[in-house]
A and B are shown apart, each in its own frame.
Chain A
Amino acid sequence: MSDVINANPTVLDASLLPKRDGVVLEKNEDSLVYQELTELSLDGLTYTDSEAEDEEEGFDSQEIYDLISTISDPEHPLTLGQLAVVNLADIKVIDHQDKSQIAEVIVKITPTITHCSLATLIGLGIRVRLERCLPPRFRILVLLKEGSHQSENQVNKQLNDKERVSAACENEQLLKVISHMLATCK
């Protein structure tokens, strides 16, 4: 990668990227007092933890965003989230909460410039990341956002062709680049 294709991209401030609202599970202070008042008592002694079975947390687009926004760009030391290659609004999750049913994730990426030749590589990186992180019942579709690239159809076809993707994953050189991109995932 001697020639940098987009040398001067727009960068978003990492702290302003979309985040899940901090649901702080602060324990109620009163219950702490009660715990302190009774914890070490022998009354009503049982040795099991209280199992708080909360409701199920389904997959949503924020979760997908968290998975892929920290992938680094192959040519800048920045993440795809910071470069606005992936955006929360362009991620769609179709999941019926039924684990026996097939589910789908659609990610539309926006290359930083319309002739970006690295779009396929970025798409492949996202694909690999999602395949590693999502349960097998998910179908993954990575597309370029409409009108964001000169050879949109061509790239889309390439990215979602199973044969070609698995062939690409057998190319060691390519896999090395991808694993480098995924190294920053948090």
Chain B
Amino acid sequence: MSFKTPINQFMVADNTNSATCQEAVLEICDAIETNKITLLEFIRSLGDHLTDDSNSIRTKAVTLLSSVLGQVSRKKLYQNDVRVLVGFYISKIDDEPCLKQVLVGLGHLVLMDQFDYELVPTILDSLIENYSPLGKLATVRYSGFQLLESILSKDIDIMHQFNNQIVKAYLHVSKNEKDPKNLILSFKLSSTVAKRFQIDEFAEDMFDAVFCYFPISFRAPENDPYKITPDQLKQALRNCLSANEVYAKDAFPNLLEKLSATSPTVKLDVLLTINQCIKEYPTQTVEEYWITLWNSLKFEILHNELASAETLEDLLKYYENSENEDERVIPAVLKIFQSLGNKYQSVEDDLNIKDYLAVIVDELSKYVKNPEDKKSKQSTVILAAMCGSNLNVFNLLIPQIMPLLLQSQDLTVQAQRQSITNVSFMLDTYYLLFNENLENIHPNNPMFSYKDDLLMLLNRALLSTSKVEVSLRCLAIKMAAKIFSLNFFLSDQEAQLLTQLITDVLLEDENNATEKQIMQCFKSISTSYPNAVLEITVPKLFALLPDDDNDLDQLNTKGRILDIILSISESRSVIDSVLLRLTGKAELLIHSASKDYTRLVFSTMSKIADKIGSTESTTENTKKLAPRLLYAVLENEIGSDEVVLEYTGKILKKFVLQTDTARHSSILENSIESFINGKDTELIAKPLTKKLDIITGNQLPFIIFTKIISAIDKSVPLALPAKFLETLFQAAASTVKYSKLSVLQCISLVVNKWVSDNEYLASKLAEFDATLHDTTKPLEQRCSSLEVFVWIAKALIMKQDTIAQEYQDLLVSLFDDDQLIVFVPKMLEILVADVDCYQQYKKQGPFNRTVVFNVNVRLLYKQKLFNTVLPLLVSKFESSGNQTYLLALSLMLRYIDKSIVVPHVKLILPLVLRSLNTESNVIVTSALSILTIAVDESGDLVSQHLSTVIPNLLEIINTSKNETVKRNALNCLISLTHFDLYLLVPYKQEIISRLSKVLDDPKRATRRLACDCRQVYYELGLPQN
């Protein structure tokens, strides 16, 4: 085979980057690597082209050679090959047209395995002597940088012997560079050279070579192919300047000089660069400039107002996210102070820095010790920034700063506020070092000696000030919360003392803001010192809960106490203990207190139980607490109060859900035994005097039973589900108002979780079909079986059972039944309604995936149902004009996701527009909600109908009696303003004038919305700003 073909292919091509050329190169490489030809043969056949007089031919030949060298295996070339080729390339370095390819080729050669290091000086020298970046194209210069990059990537130890040449070569190659892409590479090389090589001799040149670009500003042109951002350039330059400490003597003075720049962007760049230099340079170097830096930077903070923030971190974040670049200077300076502090690495060696730190404390102490001084906050923030930098600084400065902060007594309220703010900044440093950086805490931590003073400070602020001083008290409570959150700071006893203080304040102070703050604080106590809450706060609160409501105390106070109990129940141990105590309370209250009070306690318990994290186990609660609770409720008269039963059911459900799955089977069995068969089981603490019989007796406890059933793992087997269902059907015939739905939901759950017998379901369906269509039967009976039927249908449709479609068909066919048609919309609503008993709970399943364990719900069942029912509803409505279909649509929409509706908007919109002027509020409301979706998602459709939509909306606003409808219409009108101006302008005046009536609406909120609406239409079409 002739390898000349690919060579010729390459030589005749117009564009050497084309695919054919690339293939040609690969083909040649392949031939060389498989030893079909030798390198020499290849070069020989290129031969004449390499020296051809025509620039283009010569360049192409060199390009081919360089490309082949770039693709061929690095092992393929022998030392001698490399030497000869290097010689060849060097001889061509002054051949201007080929220069780029020469540099590329050299770069490839350098990377060869057998590259002889002896050649480095030759290459570098000829680069310095015969190559000048001046006047060359950017891509050529880029190749120059790449060549240098290749050289620097070789064995650095060997390279060190060519130290000076390398530095010189870099300085030569990088001269006058302006192209951003090249600069990125140039900066990278500069920092490598400065870091790896000895540059003392060239310090100034090297520094000038990069500092001349500072501060770099660059705006990427549009369609920039290299996607270089100004930040990349700035960071690359920063890396250069911080690369070697010999720059320090030039860098710091020059940078500080540039600090006086007026542009905040430049200033920020300078500060970030200074910070990086401080971090990178060794301590001895920074030491020299430490005081200079401090003196030049301190006023950036001292002379600025600082925003109010609770923690140092918040303060930094606030300013860093600021849109105003001027403000971003502040965190940059504070970070420099942190870095300056962090240079105090060794207590023994860095004595100078230790002195400097002392100087600073000395300088700032006059501000710090007087909280009324205007600079006290700024000074504290600076010191806090330094203290937080490392443990050494913390240990050194805390004993100096804290006494200053804590010494003043008899302060004005304002000064107290400032004093607390300042102290809490210092506490942040403890948090930073010991909570976040997890430094070891020694018993002689300097902060420990100020505990008493801190408590005193809080005592003063909370006990001896008026309750009107809300902001001071809030600050004090926030500081207390902070103290609680500090790792290993308080001993148990101290924590109790402080908890006592906060509890007292809580019980006395009824200001909303203060109370909210205290609740936040309790969260912090509950997590770090649950015992303090349990031993101090909980007993105090319970002491305030009376055992009856004979006293004149109104429900308010009890409600408040219960709310507080709810809020402080943050950690598991507190929750468990509080639940236990409340159960005890409930046992008493059931006999002595009013229904409202008892309900309140139960509702609180259910909310507290809900706070148990969803991954924690409640096996113990189910075992111990639940039986007591059930006994208390079911044994007494309160067991006929549906509200208490509902709450109890919720608590039980929560417990069962998170109980060990192994126990679910016995819970299921016991529930059936206790609730249905009237047997005594361990589910209820003691035998009940009146046995339960929820099928034929008192059905109300069904509320609890259904909740338990909904929580049971569906993998637990249920014996003879069909027979069990038949038992439940008996109960469904009854009409007890509040348990009826529970019975139906229980049937639904059983079908959903345990019935898979299709024959049974089919026979049931036939039965329903017969009953429902039998018009001779009394309506009541048909209704009753209708309800059972729809809940079974829901169960099947949710799990997308094979027979579900048939149930759905039967349901839809009822639209044609004159008597039952009124129920059909409601039934469709039931099918898609998100009911509590079908809420899905997940647990860890196989392969580490979380799986729903309590019910069978397919993800897309609503979508599927909606997609099949919708066209039917629309066509039926179109043909009959019966609003029932519209009503069905509205009811379903309440539970259906916007995303499911959007694709159907086109189909529904005509209906919506026609239904805007109907009487029924339900229909108008849902028409408006669809319209709003349509306006937002498919504006084009609506914009064609503005001539009907706008007058209709105005009509609704002016005539409707329902406030919600009016407000929805107003909102819809407001959202129309997203449309193009020309569409709306014809209506502008009409809208404004017809809205004037609703400005006098009896409801304030409606009036307000009308104002807003008129305002946007007044502004419509006016020039912005």
A residues adjacent to B (C-beta < 8 A): 29-30, 33-34, 36-38, 40-43, 45, 47-49, 51, 54, 56-57, 63, 66-67, 99, 132-137, 175-176, 179-180, 182-183, 185
CA distance A87 to B387 in the complex (A): 46
Q: Are B741 and A51 in contact (CB under 8 A)?
A: no
Q: Are B741 and A40 in contact (CB under 8 A)?
A: yes
Contacts A40-B741, A57-B1003 given; indicate if A180 touches B1025 (C-beta within 8 A). Answer: yes
- CB-CB under 8 A from A182, the residues of chain B are 1015, 1019
- CB-CB under 8 A from B922, the residues of chain A are 47-49
Task: Using A63-B1007, A179-B1019 as known contacts, list a sample of 19 further A-B pairs with CB atoms less than 8 Å apart, ordered by residue number in A.
Answer: A30-B599, A33-B642, A33-B646, A33-B647, A37-B738, A38-B737, A41-B740, A42-B783, A42-B786, A42-B823, A45-B822, A45-B826, A47-B920, A51-B921, A56-B1003, A132-B1011, A133-B1011, A176-B1022, A176-B1023
Q: Are A30 and B643 in contact (CB under 8 A)?
A: yes
Q: Are A48 and B1014 in contact (CB under 8 A)?
A: no
Q: List 11 A-B contacts (CB under 8 A).
A: A38-B738, A38-B741, A40-B741, A40-B826, A42-B786, A47-B825, A47-B920, A51-B962, A57-B1002, A135-B1000, A185-B1015
The stretch from B121-129, B827-835, B897-905 touching chain A is B827-835
**How far is the CB of A29 from the nearest CB of chain B, in Å?**
6
Q: Is B690 an interface residue (CB 8 A)?
A: no
User: Which are the 9 A-B pairs with shortest beta-carbon distances?
Assistant: A135-B1000, A133-B1011, A56-B1002, A135-B999, A57-B1004, A37-B738, A33-B646, A33-B643, A42-B787
> Which residue of B has the minimal Cβ distance to A31?
B643
CA distance A34 to B642 in the complex (A): 8
CA distance A29 to B555 in the complex (A): 14
Q: Are B833 and A40 in contact (CB under 8 A)?
A: yes
Q: Are A43 and B735 in contact (CB under 8 A)?
A: yes
Q: Are B921 and A137 in contact (CB under 8 A)?
A: no
Q: Are A135 and B887 in contact (CB under 8 A)?
A: no
Please encode chain B, from 636 to 668, with 1 for each CB lying within 8 Å of some chain A CB and 0 for all others.
000000110011000000000000000000000
A67 contact from B996, B1000, B1011, B1022, Cβ within 8 A: B1011
Q: Are A49 and B1015 in contact (CB under 8 A)?
A: no
Q: Are A132 and B1002 in contact (CB under 8 A)?
A: no
Please encode chain B, from 951 to 975, with 1 for each CB lying within 8 Å of some chain A CB and 0 for all others.
0000000000110100000000000
Q: Which of B707-759 contact A (CB under 8 A)?
A: 735, 737-738, 740-742
**From B643, B786, B922, B997, residue with most partner A Cβ within 10 Å:** B643
**How far is the CB of B957 from the nearest CB of chain A, in Å?**
14
- CB-CB under 8 A from B1025, the residues of chain A are 180
- CB-CB under 8 A from B964, the residues of chain A are 49
CA distance A136 to B826 in the complex (A): 44
Q: Are A51 and B740 in contact (CB under 8 A)?
A: no
> Which residue of A has the minimal Cβ distance to B787?
A42
- CB-CB under 8 A from A33, the residues of chain B are 642-643, 646-647
**How far is the CB of B658 from the nearest CB of chain A, in Å?**
22
Q: Is B603 an interface residue (CB 8 A)?
A: yes
- CB-CB under 8 A from A51, the residues of chain B are 921, 961-962
**From A29, A42, A182, residue with most partner B Cβ within 10 Å:** A42
Q: Which of B1003-1025 contact A (CB under 8 A)?
A: 1003-1004, 1007-1008, 1011-1012, 1014-1015, 1018-1019, 1022-1023, 1025
**How far is the CB of A186 from the nearest CB of chain B, in Å?**
8
Q: Are B823 and A45 in contact (CB under 8 A)?
A: yes
- CB-CB under 8 A from B826, the residues of chain A are 40, 42, 45, 47
> Which residue of B has the minimal Cβ distance to A60?
B1004
Q: Is B836 an interface residue (CB 8 A)?
A: yes
B1004 contact from A36, A47, A63, A176, Cβ within 8 A: A63
- CB-CB under 8 A from A37, the residues of chain B are 642, 646, 703, 738, 741-742
- CB-CB under 8 A from A30, the residues of chain B are 599, 643
CA distance A56 to B1007 in the complex (A): 12
A43 contact from B737, B830, B925, Cβ within 8 A: B737
Q: Are A133 and B1014 in contact (CB under 8 A)?
A: yes
A132 contact from B829, B1008, B1014, B1022, Cβ within 8 A: B1014
CA distance A34 to B1003 in the complex (A): 28
- CB-CB under 8 A from B822, the residues of chain A are 45
- CB-CB under 8 A from A137, the residues of chain B are 1000
**How far is the CB of A62 from the nearest CB of chain B, in Å?**
10
CA distance A43 to B833 in the complex (A): 17
Q: Are A43 and B643 in contact (CB under 8 A)?
A: no
- CB-CB under 8 A from B643, the residues of chain A are 30, 33-34
**How far is the CB of B846 from the nearest CB of chain A, in Å?**
35
Please encode chain B, from 808 to 846, with 1 for each CB lying within 8 Å of some chain A CB and 0 for all others.
000000000000001101110110010110000000000
A48 contact from B741, B787, B836, B921, Cβ within 8 A: B921
Contacts A43-B735, A47-B922, A49-B921 given; indicate if A132 touches B1003 (C-beta within 8 A). Answer: no
